[in-house]
Structure 1
Amino acid sequence: MKRLFALLFALGLCWTGAWAQDAAYRTVENIPYRDAAGDRNIDSMCRLDVCYPADKTGFSTVIWYHGGGLTGGRRELPAALKNKGFAIVGVDYRLSPSVTVADCVDDAAASAAWVVKNIASYGGDPKRIFVAGHSAGGYLTSMIGLDKRWLEPYGIDPDTAFVALIPYSGQVVTHFERRRELGLPDTQPLVDDMAPLNYVRPDCRPILILSGDREREMLGRYEENAYFWRMMRVAGHPDVRIYEFDGFDHGNMPQAGHFVAVRYIREMERRMER
């Protein structure tokens, strides 16, 4: 486990922002990733944006799931992940209470399947896909990356489809919105089949776990992620890491997290090129 200081990342983020890229980028917006079949909620919410290098091919792609507690938020293309040589896919998904948490996870799986099957048409390499997201998006990242049942209907195995999982401050116990569906309070932890922690195993993809400061995070989020990291190590996972960003809270920890994620993606790309 590594604790990283706010000043270090303030300097690092400035450096990252100054890292110019020669490639031009294009963005295609509002792409439907599943058949609405007359459902207005699916039609309006199950859409994504693709920002990709326009003058190169074979690039990596980061699928990005927004936060918002599974009840709010909209798709985004984080500025700190742009112009880094890889594509970003910002995903919207249906939200509770209009749908169940299971529907949110299924939307995440459907959008990831769309990327695997379609990113080559934009020039991307379908074998170089990273899955990431903040808060609720981190939860969705871990669920579809660890529990194979979500991608199975789409003919995809997350252990071969993705390069790595990068959850930013995601829940690994059962998400609190799912607990509300069951009539449980936020402060009562649960680990059931809707918890990433239920799927600890040594053979999933590499994982980069990012968290805010343990004294500033919400509802023990750092501690549950630290336990997740530890149990992955106990299970024998060969490549799982956790970073805690001193001075950053739940809301602003992506500012530091993006810097580390970009560095990690470049490391993983170098591995693939060896």
Structure 2
Amino acid sequence: MKHIHISKPLLKQVSTILWLVLLSTVSACNNPGLFFANSLARFDNVTVIENIAYGKHTLNHLSVYLPENKQAHPATIIFFYGGCWGGCETLNKEQYLFVAQALTAKGFNVIIPDYRRHPEVKFDGIMRDATQSVEWVKAHIADYGGDPKRLFLMGHSAGAHIAAMLTLNEKYLSPDTYPSIKGFIGLAGPYDFLPFTDDYQKIVFGPVENYPNTQPVNFVDGTEPPLLLLYGNDDDMVKPINIESLNRTVKQKGGCVKSHRYDGLDHTDLLGALSIPLQTQEPVMNDLVDFIYYYSEGNKTCQH
């Protein structure tokens, strides 16, 4: 059999082009890129338990992904998807199978919850659901072979904002649960985005006097769990001031934070880097896995 050698730069270019082409392709899914990424996700060695209720609302359900080849004390990653808190897209947990595949392949347990969003609820309702889902994981992950003291919060875009609020503002989680959060991973998250530029944001985060309480950067005190901030330099949805401000503030307060910025990736590409076509071509996957491995082992010194 004749083997054809394709250089890594060319392979990366072809994979990226394929991803971008599929982003513009019409499909049954309201986001073609997510449809394509999920179509490649496989769970042959993963136990999937879907639609577990963590609350009373129809959207208060989550899915659990458990790899057969776990770490000795597997960390559990709770992933929150975005969609402008409901202001620009209506997404659901089934559209992020590729995120679960990427992380379970590394031996981590993965939880992806749905949650209520605008226009049904405002910010407080969104955060109540997010809090409730994390409290469910803390109470029940041991039943699935996970360690309730090794939890990581992760999100993309508005989901990163939600996860950051849970990580930085201790009021949301119970005193028993909060110490179990070993780290935060934010992909293209808005952390310091006042003044609001979209009308729906003014509704979601209102009234006006509550605006400062919706900004994760305002709750940094230097004692929060370690943060990993990931950002694509071609992002035209979330401004770079968000990652710059949070990174700077955590360092000024003496906390642990590590940030990575990637040339050639935009708001969507950053998440797409976790899909099978790209997870071995971009450094995003390695950067977040290294972070989880390091802090799930109980390391107390900041990773640099």
* TM-score when normalising by structure 1: 0.79
Partners of 1:108 and 1:231 in 2: how far apart?
24
> Structure 1 residues 86 and 96 mapped into 2: Cα distance closer, same or farther (>3 Å)?
same
Q: Tell me the secondary structure at the aligned position of residue 127 of structure 1.
A: coil
Equivalent of residue 50 in structure 1, options 53, 64, 70: 64
Equivalent of residue 70 in structure 1, options 74, 85, 93: 85
Shift of 1:224: 1.7
Q: Which moved more, 1:254-263 or 1:122-131?
A: 254-263
Deviations 1:82-110 (A, max 9, x none): 31111111111111011112111111111
Partners of 2:183 and 2:67 in 1: how far apart?
21
Extract unaligned runs of 5+ from structure 1. Answer: 1-5, 14-22, 37-41, 185-189
Partners of 1:148 and 1:167 in 2: how far apart?
17
Q: Do residues 170 (structure 1) and 189 (structure 2) align?
A: yes
Q: Do residues 243 (structure 1) and 260 (structure 2) align?
A: yes
Q: Which residue does the alignment assign to 2:291?
A: 264
Q: Do residues 217 (structure 1) and 244 (structure 2) align?
A: no
Q: Tell me the secondary structure at the aligned position of residue 167 of structure 2.
A: helix
Partners of 1:203 and 1:251 in 2: how far apart?
31
Q: Do residues 179 (structure 1) and 202 (structure 2) align?
A: yes
Instruction: Count matched residues.
Output: 241
Report 1:149-168 matches (<5 A).
Answer: 149-152=171-174, 156-158=176-178, 160-168=179-187
Q: Do residues 24 (structure 1) and 38 (structure 2) align?
A: no
Partners of 2:298 and 2:12 in 1: how far apart?
28
Q: Do residues 192 (structure 1) and 212 (structure 2) align?
A: yes
Q: Percent identity?
A: 27
The residue type paired with residue 49 of structure 1 is: S
Is this contact kept in 2: 1:132–1:138, CA < 8 A?
yes
Q: Which moved more, 1:111-120 or 1:172-181?
A: 172-181
Q: Which residue does the alignment assign to 2:154?
A: 132
Q: Tell me the secondary structure at the aligned position of residue 251 of structure 1.
A: helix
The residue type paired with residue 202 of structure 1 is: G
> Structure 1 residues 113 and 87 mapped into 2: Cα distance closer, same or farther (>3 Å)?
same
Deviations 1:140-181 (A, max 9, x none): 1100111122224xx5452x1211011111111257654344
Partners of 1:170 and 1:32 in 2: how far apart?
27
Shift of 1:258: 3.2
Shift of 1:221: 2.4
Partners of 1:182 and 1:61 in 2: how far apart?
29
